[in-house]
Amino acid sequence: MSRRRNKNLHVVRDSEEQTDRLLRQIMTELDSEELSREEAEHQAKRRRKKRRGRAMAVIVTLLAAAVGIFLFIHLQTYTAILVSDTYTGTGTAGGTYTEFAGGILRYSRDGISYLNQKSEEQWNQPYQIKNPFIEANDTSAAVYDKGGNDIFVFQKDGIKGEIHTALPIQKMAVSGQGIVCVILKDESAPKIICYDTAGNILVEHKTSLAGTGYPVDVSISPDGEVMQVVYLHTQDGKIVSKLGYYNFGEEGKDKIDRQVVSKEYEGCVLAEGFFLSQNMSAAIGDNLIVIFKGKETPEETAAIKVEEKIKSVFHNDKYIGMILKKEGKSGYELRLYNAAGKQVLSKEFSGEYSHVKLCGSQVILYDGKKCSIFTRSGIQRFEGEMDHQILEIFPVAGVNKYIMINTDGMEHIRLVK
């Protein structure tokens, strides 16, 4: 019997083989694409790594160059100046100048004015004062008639108040808000009175030679809440200095005379006291520095003996500076202490300078045409003479840039070799 072929059946083996080949080809291409992507990512990572390496090398090179330029600028002594701008007519031999609020206060017996850094007068306040002295901080300044009765309080935008005292003024201090504390001379015993800018009496403190002692200096905290008074007293034939702190806020309301601190120092003549900041204050004597810390009730944190003769004392909010005369040696020593009482600079120098000031981390000394500038690190940045007598000098923004007031006007200068 013969087999019949089914015409409806078809052989599909060849078609299946083609499909398998197509699938394998697709998978191979996909694998190839995956490898290509991985290789591309790997190459991209290597390129990014190279770019980062090149960028880091550039940054290191720039930093090294910047450090080199910084050291080149700041580790050498300049001996000449280059005048970039001159504003004539500012300086006068009869006026006195002091840096204030980014500009300059010019004051005399006849009045006071405020100048910006281009010597443009911003305001002018006339008055008549026989013996003008000034006290200034970052935000407020006050001119007083030493031995007289008048006080004028100013801020950057002009006069804030005028005060007239009943007794002659011996010493004065001003807070950042413009509150003034004055020591007034009296036949029986000096008085210490604090006024607001309108002339209202805020505090009246009575002293007695037998009790508190004689007040020789007064200072007030930036917020006007704490007053420091330095007294001189004799006890059993010995000189005793006293330091008192008075709190006019909540801390002092239950204290007698609002006194929150009283310290005595035998064998020392404390002559000057001041606030470095709201929390730091100090007093200086003939052989002693005492430093106090605390806002409400200050506590002594350092007492530093000074063996050398103190010629002058100066300070800002970070440092206490001294010019010392050493026995048996020529020249002087410039010494700086930080607010913790640690000595951070000792530098010997020669020459006589009648003016010394701290501007940030620079100590500027000048007398007549002579000027010398030291940095906090002990580098003498400048030593030389100007063309005219220096009335005031202070640094401004920029490399080695300063503003100088002299008898010919205001000059913007740069220190050069």
pLDDT at 6 over 70: no
The two three-digit tokens of residue 369, written as one number: 């045409």
At 187 the pLDDT is: 82
The two three-digit tokens of residue 253, written as one number: 């309301």
| Residue scoring higher pLDDT (342 or 17) | 342
At 37 the pLDDT is: 66
At 9 the pLDDT is: 39
Any idea which of 178-182, 220-224, 245-249, 325-329 has the lowest mean pLDDT?
A: 325-329
Q: How many CB atoms lie within 10 A of CB 4?
A: 6
Distance, CA of 216 to CA of 241 (rounded, Å): 10
Give percent of the chain above pLDDT 90: 72
- Distance, C-alpha 382 to centroid of its chain: 20
pLDDT at 248 over 70: yes
Backbone region of residue 89 per phi and psi (left: phi > 0; alpha: psi in -120 to 50; beta: other values): left
pLDDT in tens, 286-321: 999 999 999 999 999 999 999 999 999 999 999 999
pLDDT at 34 over 80: no
Distance, CA of 274 to CA of 221 (rounded, Å): 8
Q: Using pLDDT thresholds of 50, 70 and 90, give the confidence band for residue 57.
A: confident
pLDDT at 38 over 80: no
Q: How many CB atoms lie within 10 A of CB 394?
A: 19
| Residue scoring higher pLDDT (409 or 18) | 409
Average pLDDT over residues 167-194: 95
**279: which residues sit within 8 A by CB, 6+ positions away?**
293, 294, 295
CB 148 within 8 A of CB 172: no
Q: How many CB atoms lie within 10 A of CB 58?
A: 10
At 30 the pLDDT is: 55
The two three-digit tokens of residue 20, written as one number: 């398998």
pLDDT at 8 over 70: no
CA dihedral 104, 106, 112, 116 (to 10 degrees): -30
CA neighbor of 217 nearest in space, from 346, 313, 152:
313
At 2 the pLDDT is: 42
| Residue scoring higher pLDDT (318 or 46) | 318
- Name the average pLDDT for the chain: 88
Q: Using pLDDT thresholds of 50, 70 and 90, give the confidence band for residue 325.
A: very high
Average pLDDT over residues 61-83: 71
By CB atoms closer than 10 A (0-12, 13-18, 19+), residue 180 is buried
Place of tokens 């004062």: 129
**C-alpha pair distances (Å), 83 with each of 72, 87, 268, 402:** 21, 11, 47, 10
pLDDT in tens, 99-129: 999 999 999 999 999 999 999 999 999 999 9
The two three-digit tokens of residue 82, written as one number: 């280059």
Phi, psi of 73 (to 5 degrees): -75, -40
At 32 the pLDDT is: 63
pLDDT in tens, 393-410: 999 999 899 999 998 899
pLDDT at 70 over 70: no
The maximal CA–CA distance of the chain, rounded, in angstroms, is 158
Q: In what order do the strands lie in the sheet with 158-164?
A: 132-136, 140-145, 150-155, 158-164
pLDDT in tens, 343-382: 999 999 999 999 999 999 999 999 999 999 999 999 999 9
**C-alpha pair distances (Å), 239 with each of 140, 288, 317, 381, 388:** 35, 14, 30, 42, 45
At 98 the pLDDT is: 96
At 19 the pLDDT is: 61
Q: In what order do the strands lie in the sheet with 121-126?
A: 96-100, 103-107, 111-115, 121-126
Distance, CA of 285 to CA of 26 (rounded, Å): 95
pLDDT at 334 over 70: yes
Q: Using pLDDT thresholds of 50, 70 and 90, give the confidence band for residue 208.
A: confident
Distance, CA of 205 to CA of 258 (rounded, Å): 10
Kindly report the three-state secondary structure assignment for every residue of 83-116: EEEEEECCCCCCCEEEEECCEEEEECCCEEEEEC
The structural domains of the chain, with segments of one domain joined by +, span 19-75
The two three-digit tokens of residue 190, written as one number: 């000096």
Distance, CA of 209 to CA of 205 (rounded, Å): 13
Any idea which of 176-185, 234-243, 244-253, 398-407 has the lowest mean pLDDT?
A: 234-243
pLDDT in tens, 120-165: 999 999 999 999 999 999 999 999 999 999 999 999 999 999 999 9
Distance, CA of 142 to CA of 40 (rounded, Å): 73
Q: How many CB atoms lie within 10 A of CB 27?
A: 10
Q: Using pLDDT thresholds of 50, 70 and 90, give the confidence band for residue 1.
A: very low
Name the amino acid, one letter, at 271: A
Name the amino acid, one letter, at 57: A
Kindly report the length of the chain.
417
CA neighbor of 263 nearest in space, from 282, 236, 237:
282
At 29 the pLDDT is: 62
Distance, CA of 281 to CA of 274 (rounded, Å): 6
Residue 96's DSSP bridge partners are 107
Phi, psi of 136 (to 5 degrees): -145, 150
Q: Using pLDDT thresholds of 50, 70 and 90, give the confidence band for residue 93.
A: low
